[in-house]
């Protein structure tokens, strides 16, 4: 199996195993789906942390309004009246004004937060350091865990406009958001390796050979972005260690220069003609002006 270390820019994303004979059309789609799936899990985790802290989303026409404005406009949160978390709620106002403030109790909060941590661990970039490959099945498992936790805390379901429900139903609205810029369309995705674009019409073996024990770094790009930056010759950590070595070496040379005192050469024991002058009887001759 060929091991792919997938990167986006200079940032490691995940490891993925494939056959050298794999069609690059299928492989590019597979890599893109795992990449986008991890982004979906990250978005859900972020929203579920807010759900645990401040409850469900307010209706779009009530978001950002003060209590006085809501009362004056006679607006009503109908979903908020029936979406009561299991075990009751505790009030914790959302200062941003996006959620209704009726958060789950401590026990249900723990259910949500624990599931979020487990899902994050599945798609974490630390999996690269651990040498663990991420598959679409693992991403789906993380999504199922998150969905199950929400159903436990909110058995009646979430409002149709809540971003968590929209994510689960694949109806999320990401246009115009920073999160939307990170998503790559499968038809627009490109894989690059060794400054070469891996053409979808070819096989992986056409570029890396038939050795199934190869490990390569591929970069995921969107069509039109051009080639990604080349990988540095040495890593950031190796660069830091190299700079540290040269700094220490300079300090050592500086100390040696400070200790380079040749005044000792004027001492009697350093005179290599002392024995000769002793036998000639010209030792300790002092010259004085008349």
Q: What is the tens place of the pLDDT at every residue in 201-242?
A: 999 999 998 888 899 999 999 887 777 877 666 777 888 888
Residue 70 located in a structural domain: no
Q: Does a structural domain hold residue 68? A: no
Are 162 and 250 contained in the same domain?
no
Q: Is 99 a member of any domain?
A: no
Q: Same structural domain for residues 244 and 134?
A: no
Where is average pLDDT lowest: 145-159, 176-190, 234-248?
234-248
- Please check whether residue 59 lies inside any domain of the structure: no
pLDDT at 167: 94
Looking at the predicted structure, is the pLDDT value of residue 76 above 80? yes
**Count of domains forming the chain:** 2
Position 28 in a domain? yes
Structure tokens at 8: 């986006």
Residues 41 and 148 in one domain: yes
Tell me, yes or no, whether 146 and 165 share the same domain. yes
Three-state secondary structure readout of 86-125: CCCEEECCCCCCCECCEEECHHHHHHHHHHHHHHHHHCCC
Q: From 192, 222, 252, give the residue that closes a domain.
A: 222
Answer whether residue 65 is part of any domain.
no
Strands 2-8 and 11-18: antiparallel
Indicate whether 77 belongs to any domain: no
Whether residues 182 and 242 fall in one domain? no
- For 169, the token pair is 């139903």
Q: Global pTM? A: 0.77
9: containing domain: 2-52+106-222
Whether residues 236 and 172 share a domain: the answer is no
Q: How many CB atoms lie within 10 A of CB 222?
A: 15
Q: Which two tokens stand for residue 250?
A: 């300079």
pLDDT digits (tens, 9 = 90+) for 8-64: 988 899 999 999 899 999 999 999 999 999 999 999 999 999 999 999 999 888 888
Give me the pLDDT at residue 168, please: 94
List all residues 6 or more positions away from 135 whose beta carbon is below 8 Å from its beta carbon.
16, 34
Last residue of a domain, one of 222, 244, 272: 222
* Whether residues 202 and 240 fall in one domain: no
Residues 138 and 202 in one domain: yes
Q: Could you tell me if residue 210 is inside a domain?
A: yes
User: What pLDDT does residue 273 have?
Assistant: 76
């Amino acid at each position: 199996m060929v091991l792919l270390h997938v990167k986006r820019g200079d940032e490691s994303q995940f490891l993925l195993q494939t056959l050298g004979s794999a069609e690059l059309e299928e492989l590019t789609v597979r890599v893109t789906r795992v990449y986008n799936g991890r982004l979906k899990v990250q978005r859900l985790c972020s929203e579920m942390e807010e759900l645990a802290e401040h409850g469900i989303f307010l209706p779009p026409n009530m978001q950002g309004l003060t209590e006085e404005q809501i009362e004056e406009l006679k607006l009503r949160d109908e979903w908020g009246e029936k979406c009561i978390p299991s075990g009751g709620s505790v009030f914790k106002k959302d200062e941003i004004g996006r959620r209704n403030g009726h958060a789950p109790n401590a026990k249900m909060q723990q259910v949500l937060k624990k599931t979020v941590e487990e899902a994050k661990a599945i798609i974490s970039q630390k999996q690269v350091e651990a040498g663990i490959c991420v598959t679409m099945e693992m991403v789906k498992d993380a999504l199922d865990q998150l969905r199950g936790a929400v159903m436990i805390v909110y058995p009646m379901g979430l409002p149709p406009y809540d971003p968590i429900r929209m994510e689960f139903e694949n109806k999320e609205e990401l246009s115009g958001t920073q999160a939307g810029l990170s998503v790559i369309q499968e038809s627009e995705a490109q894989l690059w390796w060794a400054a070469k674009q891996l053409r979808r019409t070819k096989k992986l073996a056409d570029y890396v050979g038939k050795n199934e024990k190869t490990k390569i770094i591929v970069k995921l790009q969107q069509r039109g972005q051009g080639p990604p930056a080349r990988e540095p010759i040495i890593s950031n950590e190796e660069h830091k260690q190299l700079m540290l070595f040269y700094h220490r070496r300079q300090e050592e040379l500086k100390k040696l220069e400070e200790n380079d005192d040749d005044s000792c050469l004027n001492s009697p024991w350093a005179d290599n003609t002392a024995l000769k002058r002793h036998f000639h009887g010209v030792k300790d001759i002092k010259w004085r002006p008349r």
